[in-house]
Structure 1
Amino acid sequence: MNDDAQILIARLLTHQTLRRDDKLVKRALSDEQFRQEVDKRLLDAGLKLLDNVYADHVTLALHRNVEPRIFGAKDVWQNNNFGLTRDGVALLVVLWAQIILPKRERQETHQHKEDDQTDFFGKDKPLPRAEDTSIGISYTALLADFGDKLGKKTRMDMNLGVLSKLGFIERRGDLILEGPLLDLMMDTDLLKERIINGALADVFKTSNLQVVVPKPQAVAPANDPEAEPQPDASTGAENT
């Protein structure tokens, strides 16, 4: 006989992501006993429920203790399991840094994307949803800033298509927007400083982002045997 925990897990495996306002997802996030049952069943399969308060969706990811058996196959640590090449992974990190970090800053300060003035009582309001604060970036600007480093237009267009198909981004004309998985796949606590002060220091040199990191975080996305390990990048149900 089917039960709610079984149905929730089956739906996540089938659809990869579910919205936080889904009835069973809301129950898993608020009912401790139900969440324990879901977590137990997922753990038996080497999985865990992945969510954070900044994202509008939840997904599934590999549990930490099974990562070495999965990503360390054949003595080569795979940096992802989505089939992304190195330039595809690099593009994913750039998009996350350009879209998610500013969005989280707006969420922390309770700013909406249409706000044009300071709301002195904003912090008394609930944390804004991602869809109310996520602005996205211009494809034209992305190509101008990173095209030479990410394989030029042909390679970048190909990788954007793959990322869109996988659910990391959405394309609307010239605009590249956050997809359901983009804010679930990165260990922000570990990587934020490395990205802002390292690989993308020039991009963020005028920014002073304060990002509060939710727990738990997850594992890594795609499959390039020559790629070097990417720490703590998380996936969805494809990890199963």
Structure 2
Amino acid sequence: MSAAEVRRHDDADVLVGDVASALLERIEAAQARGETPDIGLTGGSIAEELHRELARRAPDSSVDWSRVAFWWGDERFVAADSPDRNAGQARESLLDHVAVDPARVHEVPASDQVAAAEEAAEAYAAALREHGSGTFEVLMLGIGPDGHCASMFPGHPALDVRDAVAVAVHDSPKPPPDRVSLTFEAMNRSRAVWFIASGEGKAEAVARALAPEGTVAETPARGVRGAETVWWLDEAAASAL
């Protein structure tokens, strides 16, 4: 795995535009190779802005959206119609506006579909094994002010899970308390991991994640590296570097 690359942008709007351009180009290149790329989506406000920008640009791109497989790095274990769901946010801002193949949109089962987060994690892992290519073309992740990514929180037992694709997370320090997350091993099976962060509130966590020294237990984002790892930051999020 190569060293992480940092790309700084003047503000959040420029950041979103550059990530959208790069992602569309990446999908187009994969499809030109005859692949159906696996793309890992994330949640949060900057992700929602990115999704809307992708939807806006979709008519002018050559991406065949029916030949893109969509996954999520993590999901909140709540009802399928809950506004807390990352999948619901992505549908409203992107997936409902482009011609996706519903069979290639792989959501984590919701709390009104299965009995427990463990069952949801097992089903999601099985879907990734059955339908995934084995490698994410791009896995997009955010970072919390505490350094968490996906639903991997500082000091949480889920950080130590090995030989698994997905894990149930309970007692999350950030509500809702029950979640499902890809494991580090699954996230690291990525051609590209893209961390996307905006705002001064993320600056300290970004600096810790990129520091020469530090632990994954303290800053879980340190535990995710793809064959290529890029930190897409606006100047506010990069201000502590």
Q: State TM-score, norm by structure 2.
A: 0.27
Which structure carries more helix by proportion?
A: 1
Structure showing greater radius of gyration is 1
